Amino acid sequence: MKKFALALALTTSLPALADGPQFSNLSKKDVENVTREFGANFTHTVVAAPETDGLWGVEVGLVAGQTASPDFKGVIEDSGGSGSDFKNLYHAGAIARVHLPFDFFAEVNLLPEQEISDVSIGNQSYGIGWNLGGFIGLPLDVAVGAGRATTEISFKQTTPINADIKLETTTTNYWVGVSKTILFFTPYAKYGTSTIDGDLRATGQIFGYTASTKEDVSLSGNFLSVGANFQLLFLKLGVEHTQTHGTQRLSGKFSLDF
């Protein structure tokens, strides 16, 4: 538990080691790429199989991981900054999952707003689902579900343009999932559709194609998640690889499951 908490603290502190990001002369494609990678990074997850077990159940724990962000890195470099510290984005949060009568389940992942160096960040996401396989007694879990994540990131840049910048993203997924528990091991997969909506605004002129200081984008694509949970008594560990709109993310979990 202490080791996982330390890893979580290091993960959320990594951006503080970097020079702050900077934006200038952004194209429409740049805005779409930044929105996609941040939206994919904070896509809802509790690193859980789409399973239910019994009438009631509660799981609480921590999730952390990273997302490859080559386009965000490139945008910073094209703006005259150093992108070497932004090859990956990081996510973390406290999670809870409950399963309810009739094989319904609900999930939450929360990162309260905090300031890391000069970057302020906060995230909250929620998920719901129904395990049809468990409800009708199939030999494996077959579920349908949805997840929604909202994230707000803000920072101040002084070069090359003095500006306060805020990015808000909302990621919504609908999916079908399957899983099968074999002793203490539960592999799973989820596949569906994803929509990422972004709102990027600044107090200075950071866009190269419009005189506006605010831009909205909406992106649609596919969502794929594969992972596994390992449980021994009340202790549960999980690992998950997610692809959202082609952006790759890896997440891990430590939790207690009752």
Going by pLDDT thresholds of 50, 70 and 90, the confidence category of residue 10 is very low
Number of domains the chain is built from: 1
CB 35 within 8 A of CB 200: yes
Nearest by Cα to 170 from 154, 194, 193, 201? 194
Distances 151 to 52, 192, 220, 222, 235 between C-alpha atoms, Å: 28, 21, 18, 20, 29
- At residue 117 the predicted structure's pLDDT band, cuts being 50, 70 and 90, is low
Q: Residue 104: its pLDDT value, please?
A: 98
Specify the length of the chain in residues.
Answer: 258
pLDDT higher for 81 or 51? 51
CATH code for the domain in which residue 7 is found: 2.40.160.20
Provide the 10 A C-beta neighbour count for residue 212.
11
Is the pLDDT at 164 greater than 90? The verdict is yes
The predicted-structure confidence for 201-257, as pLDDT tens digits, reads as follows: 999 999 999 999 999 999 999 999 999 999 999 999 999 999 999 999 999 999 999
Average pLDDT score over the chain = 91
Residue type, 119: V
- Residue 87 Rama label (left phi>0; alpha psi -120 to 50; beta): alpha
Q: Please state, in angstroms and rounded to a whole number, the distance separating the CA atoms of residues 39 and 27.
A: 18
The DSSP output letter for 250 is E
C-alpha atoms less than 13 angstroms from C-alpha of 251 in its C-beta half-sphere: 31
Tell me, what's the pLDDT at 25? 95
d(CA 126, CA 66): 19
- Look at residue 14 in the predicted model and tell me its pLDDT: 42
| CB 57 within 8 Å of CB 51 | no
Q: Tens digit of pLDDT for each residue in 52-62?
A: 988 899 999 99
Tell me which residue range forms the domain holding 240. Answer: 2-257
